[in-house]
Amino acid sequence: MNRISDRILVGLTWLSGIGMCMVVTGLLLFLIFHGIRQITPALFFGDTPWLKAITGQSPVFDGIWPAVTGTVLLVFLSSAIAVPVGVASGIYLAAYASSRQRAFWGSMVDLLSGTPSIVMGLFGFTMILFLRKTVNPTAQTGLFLAAVCIALLILPYLIRTSQAAIAGISTHLRLIGPAAGFSKWQNIRHVLLPLASRGILSGIILAVGRASEDTAVILLTGVVAQTGIPRNIWDKFEALPFRIYYLAAEHRNATELEQGFAVALVLLFLTGFLFAIAFLLNRYAENRWRIRRYQ
Amino acid sequence: MLKINPPEKWIETGLFMAAVVSAVAIVSILLLLIYFCLPLFSGNGLSRVFSWRWQPIDGQFGILPMCAGSLALSILALGIAFPPAIGICTLVHVLSRGVFARIVLILTHFMTGIPTVIYGFVSVFVLVPRIRSLSEAGTGFSLLTAAITLAILILPTIVLVCYTRLEQLDPVLRLASAAMGFTPIQQMRHVLMPAATKGVAAAAILGLGRAMGDTLISLMLAGNAAQFPGSLFTSFRSLTAHIGLVVATDSQSLAYQSVFAAGLVLFLLVAALNLIIRKTDNRITANAFLRVQETRHEQNF
Amino acid sequence: MKTDTRYRWILYFTVAMMVVAASSGMVSAASVDSFAGMEGTISIAGGTAHIPVMNDAAKAVMTAHPKIRITVEGGGSGIGVQKVGEGLVDIGNTGRPLSKEEIAKYGLQSYAFALDGVAVVIHPENPVSGLSAQQVRDIFAGSVTNWKEVGGKDGAIHLFTRDEASGTREVFWGNLLNKGAIASSANVVASNGAMKVAVAQDKAAIGYAGIGHVDKSVKAVILDGVMPSQENAMNGTYPVTRKLYMNTKGEPGKLVKTFIDYILGPEGTALSQKHGYLPLQ
């Protein structure tokens, strides 16, 4: 009796494992099958010559180049805001905070990481409404606002990865600095941070992946269907994930739909690439530490 | 050798300020949402927004159907995702520790990085037509469609958190139960799972929170009809999709204010889940990947 | 009598002069050349029926004059009014006339540039081709739920409607549904384009969209025996029509004014026609 139920359970676990692999490969194949034909220079630049498009000499229509630049700028700006704050706060939590402080500030980080991205977007939107009512009546949604909200979204990832990377360093490595007469900060700066750098870096890359894929935040903070390459950080912008969302709902013909699949492939390639780097860095970090352990 | 002694106190203060940023952000999000909900508290705004009918042309602005929609969607998605998640955990933890388990784990990690909008996009063309042909009454944009897609989205989160907790268990448990003659699946059923109950529960709640907070899946797949989700095949609207759809209507009407109410409700729901996780299992942080990473590091020493 | 005829001649003459003046003014202010030497930004948001025309106009202008930047957002007429009223964009598009309150509250000016009908649309394979206005009302109110009841195949009717900010919805609801109820079970889509895609994918669907958006992927329903075409909308036999408006807050600046003139002028009119709208002249 028990035997049979055990066998059924074993069967079910294999089924779920294989099922998941099939879902992922099915998804990839589906996108490749429908989208690969549209991955051409025209997908990126429309009918604008690519050299002129990249140098910004002439605007691109019917191509995703503005969306690519929009996403890249957004990721760059939000990382520029979130990475210093995130890493610094990770260091504080790992190396300075008492365990009570760590629990308290940590719970704030958890709350922030649980906050739905649409609420983060709504926060940005209300912030603009608030600014318009109070200090700056011409405040507008745009790239900078979106970057700030995305920065808040990825901040918890950065804090937790940095904190974990530093907290994970073994005690005898931690004691090297103090033994050599380093002060607390010197120890962090010259011993702990270099040791934790790969863990931190992989966290940063994951955060970048998250920043490049989120749609709900930018939906409320300044993404538009057509605008061209943003000229400054207050401009409205286009973005890859929004482009996919837009094409899913209102492709005008079969070609535009195929373009939607192609854009999805491009975005997936981008996030997959970032994921692979983070993964390898992580692996490498582990191995490096393992070797040190046995030395 | 070390020429300059940096002012240690300043550095600590600077780092502390950075740590405060998250708290400031959370508090200001809450305060701004409350501030924009304030007009509701005058008159009968509150009772009008927290009612069961959304029919703006009749002056009815109830968001309760959306609250019900969000709850139904996330619970259903969790119900769909949870069994296979436990299955996959069992598979990689006790049954197959070889190449296949490795592939499954890598794929699970990879899945956490797939953009939500891509799940939604593919589902519109793969799942919606199939669900439509399944039930005459529905358009294919339904509770079931959104829940299945959402289940795929939250699956890796649950798997990774569960797996981490299982790996954290004392290896003695496993050895002892193996010595008692338990087969791997029996070890899992009778020893390991009971030992990791809290972690598994926390993983489930984490998945629930992630499902509740997702916007794109429900916006693209749920049909967005503002009605109570009465069956698997009906169209409905989640709180998140409601915010996305209505946020920029006329700023004077209750419809507009209902958006902030929806945001506040959502925020409080997710915060409550967060609190429950902390009460259930304080070793789980709110992010699956990080937790996995922490364990990896812990294992190294 | 005599004075009357003389006055009439004077009147004719003045009108003719005005037409000449206006048309020559039009020509000079209406092609992309009239943007020569200008730079700056025009931001546009609102009505989704307008988007194809606005996008093409933006493309033409920006290609000829790279220093000008035009951003086009959708969102629906409600958003158009709100954004232009709050000064968030330069032009807020609406697919419906502004209400008195809206004009009074924000001080808006409207420029109608094209006529569009709102058609009931269904899947091309649906055997139903004509409905009475009453049938449409019953279907959208949710009291008729099976295609069989209106002469189609046995099967549930899938309702699609638009979001709260939609001007198309207001026109449809006001002119065809006589402000009757729309069942809350109706799926909600966020733009004219999305409505077309949704209906084209579902054989049991019924929805509504601007006639300019109707192509062979969906079928426009003959309403009370009248084919919803732009011609019938123009000559008044098809009742559910609206003008497409651009709105500005107060007097538009030079660049925005030039853009509005461009849309109203021959090149803009050609764009409107290309996307299935009727010019107003």
Question: Residue A92 in contact with residue B248, Cβ under 8 Å?
Answer: no
Residues of chain A with Cβ-Cβ distance to C72 below 8 Å are 224-227
* Burial bucket for residue B50 (CB in 10 Å: 0-12, 13-18, 19+): middle
Query: What is the predicted pLDDT for the residue at B281?
Result: 65
User: What does pTM read for this prediction?
Assistant: 0.86
Which tokens sit at A110?
Answer: 């958890």
pLDDT, block means (10 residues), chain A with 295 residues? 81 91 94 89 82 76 86 93 94 90 89 91 88 82 93 93 87 85 87 87 87 90 82 87 88 84 92 85 63 41
Provide φ and ψ at C210, rounded to 5°. Answer: -60, 140
Q: Quick check: helix, strand or coil at residue B196? A: coil
Residue type (1 letter), B151: A
Q: Which residue in the block uniquely carries the two structure tokens 């229509």?
A: A61
Question: Residue A213 in contact with residue A154, Cβ under 8 Å?
Answer: no
Pure H helices in C172-225:
192-200
Based on C-alpha coordinates, what's the Rg of chain A?
A: 23
Residues C229 and C134 in one domain: yes
Which tokens sit at A129?
Answer: 């409404």
Which tokens sit at C53?
Answer: 């025309």
| Among C243, C251, C226, residue whose Cα is nearest residue C277 | C243
Strand pairing category for C158-162 and C222-223: unpaired
* Gap between the Cα atoms of A45 and A54, Å rounded: 9
Residues ≥6 apart with Cβ < 8 Å to B3: none
Q: Can you give B264-293 as a three-state secondary structure string?
A: HHHHHHHHHHHHHHHHHCCCCCCCHHHHHH
Q: What range does the domain containing A76 cover?
A: 39-294
- Assign residue A207 the CATH number of its domain: 1.10.3720.10
The per-type count for chain B, helices as H runs and strands as E runs, is 14, 2
* Gap between the Cα atoms of B13 and B271, Å rounded: 28
Q: Which residues of A47-58 are buried (b: 16+ CB within 10 A; e: fewer)?
A: ebeeeebeeeee
Cross-strand bridge partners of residue C222: C130
Question: Residue A115 in contact with residue A149, Cβ under 8 Å?
Answer: no
* Gap between the Cα atoms of A223 and A221, Å rounded: 6
Each residue of A60-69: pLDDT tens digit?
Answer: 777 888 899 9
* Gap between the Cα atoms of B120 and C8, Å rounded: 67
Flag if B21 and A272 touch (Cβ within 8 Å). Answer: no
- By C-alpha distance, the chain C residue nearest B231 is C185
Question: Residue C275 in contact with residue C52, Cβ under 8 Å?
Answer: yes
State the chains in contact with A (3 or more Cβ–Cβ pairs under 8 Å). Answer: B, C
Establish if A28 belongs to a structural domain: no
Question: Residue C205 in contact with residue C199, Cβ under 8 Å?
Answer: yes
- Considering only CB atoms, A250 lies closest to which of C62, C63, C193, namely C193
Which tokens sit at A74?
Answer: 């957004």
- By C-alpha distance, the chain C residue nearest A133 is C86
Residues C9 and C89 in one domain: yes
Residues C197 and C166 in one domain: yes
Residues C128 and C231 in one domain: yes
- Considering only CB atoms, A249 lies closest to which of C69, C71, C191, namely C191
* Region C208-224 average pLDDT: 91
pLDDT band at C27; cut points 50, 70, 90: very low
**DSSP code per residue over chain A:** -HHHHHHHHHHHHHHHHHHHHHHHHHHHHHHHHHHGGG-SHHHHHTTS-HHHHHTTSS---SSSHHHHHHHHHHHHHHHHHHHHHHHHHHHIIIII--HHHHHHHHHHHHHHHHS-HHHHHHHHHHHHHHHHHTT-TT---SHHHHHHHHHHHHHHHHHHHHHHHHHTS-HHHHTHHHHTT--HHHHIIIIIHHHHHHHHHHHHHHHHHHHHH--HHHHHHTB-SB--S-SSTTS-B--HHHHHHHHHHH--SHHHHHHHHHHHHHHHHHHHHHHHHHHHHHHHHHHHHHHHHH-
Counting every residue written for chain B, the total comes to: 301
pLDDT band at C9; cut points 50, 70, 90: low
- Considering only CB atoms, B140 lies closest to which of C83, C186, C202, namely C202
Flag if C71 and A132 touch (Cβ within 8 Å). Answer: no
Establish if B234 belongs to a structural domain: yes
pLDDT band at C207; cut points 50, 70, 90: very high
**A164 in contact with B at a CB cutoff of 8 Å?**
yes
Flag if C73 and A225 touch (Cβ within 8 Å). Answer: yes
Query: What is the predicted pLDDT for the residue at C30?
Result: 63
CB atoms near residue C251 (< 10 Å): 9
Q: Which of C184, C189, C197 best tests the B interface by mutation, with the highest count of B CBs <10 A?
A: C184
pLDDT band at C75; cut points 50, 70, 90: confident
Residues of chain B with Cβ-Cβ distance to C189 below 8 Å are 224
Q: Is the pLDDT of residue C23 over 70?
A: no
C76 conformational bin, left if phi > 0, alpha if psi -120 to 50, beta if neither: left
Q: How far is B247 from chain C (nearest CA, A)?
A: 9
Residues C29 and C122 in one domain: no
Q: How many domains does chain B have?
A: 1
Q: Which of C48, C69, C72 best tests the A interface by mutation, with the highest count of A CBs <10 A?
A: C69
Residues ≥6 apart with Cβ < 8 Å to A252: C193
Q: What range does the domain containing C167 cover?
A: 117-241
**B272 in contact with A at a CB cutoff of 8 Å?**
no
pLDDT band at C99; cut points 50, 70, 90: confident
Residues of chain B with Cβ-Cβ distance to C163 below 8 Å are 245-246
Q: How far is A104 from chain C (nearest CA, A)?
A: 40
Residues C129 and C237 in one domain: yes
Residues of chain C with Cβ-Cβ distance to A61 below 8 Å are 55, 59, 62-63
Flag if B57 and C78 touch (Cβ within 8 Å). Answer: no
Which tokens sit at B45?
Answer: 């705004």
Strand (E) or helix (H) holding B119: helix B116-134
**A268 in contact with B at a CB cutoff of 8 Å?**
yes
Residue type (1 letter), A100: R
Residue type (1 letter), C180: G
Q: Which residues of B24-44 are buried (b: 16+ CB within 10 A; e: fewer)?
A: ebbebbbebbeebbeebeeee
Residues of chain A with Cβ-Cβ distance to C69 below 8 Å are 227-228, 231
Q: Which residue in the block uniquely carries the two structure tokens 């909900």?
A: B37
Each residue of A136-157: pLDDT tens digit?
Answer: 877 888 899 999 999 999 999 8
- Considering only CB atoms, B26 lies closest to which of A112, A212, A244, namely A112
Question: Residue C109 in contact with residue C102, Cβ under 8 Å?
Answer: no
C-alpha distances in Å from residue B283, one per residue of A173, A258, B40, B279: 24, 45, 39, 10
Each residue of C109-128: pLDDT tens digit?
Answer: 999 999 989 999 999 999 99
Residues C210 and C126 in one domain: yes
C-alpha distances in Å from residue C5, one per residue of A135, C14, C18, C177: 64, 14, 20, 48
Residues of chain C with Cβ-Cβ distance to B246 below 8 Å are 163-165
Tell me the HSE value of B240 on the side-chain side, using a 13 A CA sphere: 33
Strand (E) or helix (H) holding B301: none
Residues C17 and C78 in one domain: yes
Residue type (1 letter), C32: V
- By C-alpha distance, the chain C residue nearest B235 is C187
Q: How many domains does chain C have?
A: 2
Residues of chain C with Cβ-Cβ distance to B54 below 8 Å are 184
- Assign residue C97 the CATH number of its domain: 3.40.190.10
Q: How far is A184 from chain C (nearest CA, A)?
A: 50
Query: What is the predicted pLDDT for the residue at B292?
Result: 41
Which tokens sit at C19?
Answer: 């037409």
Q: How far is C13 from chain A (nearest CA, A)?
A: 46
Establish if A10 belongs to a structural domain: no
Strand (E) or helix (H) holding C44: strand C40-46
pLDDT, block means (10 residues), chain B with 301 residues? 65 91 93 89 80 81 92 96 93 84 89 91 92 84 95 93 85 87 86 86 90 92 90 92 79 78 92 86 48 39 30
Residues ≥6 apart with Cβ < 8 Å to A263: A35, A43, A64, A67, A240, A243, A244, A247
Residues of chain B with Cβ-Cβ distance to C204 below 8 Å are 139
Residues of chain A with Cβ-Cβ distance to B123 below 8 Å are none
In this structure, of B190-199, C27-36, C238-247, the range with the lowest mean pLDDT score is C27-36
Flag if B118 and A97 touch (Cβ within 8 Å). Answer: no
Q: How far out from the chain centre does Cα A98 lie?
A: 30
Q: Would the CA dihedral through A148, A154, A155, A158 be positive or negative?
A: negative
Q: How far is C81 from chain B (nearest CA, A)?
A: 8
Which tokens sit at A262?
Answer: 């192609």
Q: How many domains does chain A have?
A: 1
* Gap between the Cα atoms of A224 and A78, Å rounded: 18
Flag if C184 and B226 touch (Cβ within 8 Å). Answer: yes
CB atoms near residue C14 (< 10 Å): 10
**A255 in contact with B at a CB cutoff of 8 Å?**
no
* Gap between the Cα atoms of A213 and A215, Å rounded: 6
Flag if B240 and A93 touch (Cβ within 8 Å). Answer: no
| Among C75, C269, A5, A20, residue whose Cα is nearest residue B245 | C75
Q: How many CB pairs under 8 A join A and C?
A: 50
* Gap between the Cα atoms of A37 and C192, Å rounded: 28
Flag if B121 and A170 touch (Cβ within 8 Å). Answer: no
Q: Would the CA dihedral through C158, C163, C166, C171 be positive or negative?
A: positive
Which B-chain residues 90-149 have CB contacts (< 8 A) with chain A? Answer: 90-92, 95-96, 100, 103-104, 106-111, 113-122, 124, 126
Q: What range does the domain containing B257 cover?
A: 43-300
* Gap between the Cα atoms of C222 and C238, Å rounded: 10
Query: What is the predicted pLDDT for the residue at C2?
Result: 46
CA angle (C223 as vertex; C183, C173 as ends), nearest 5: 35
Each residue of A99-143: pLDDT tens digit?
Answer: 888 888 988 998 998 899 999 999 998 888 888 888 887 788 889
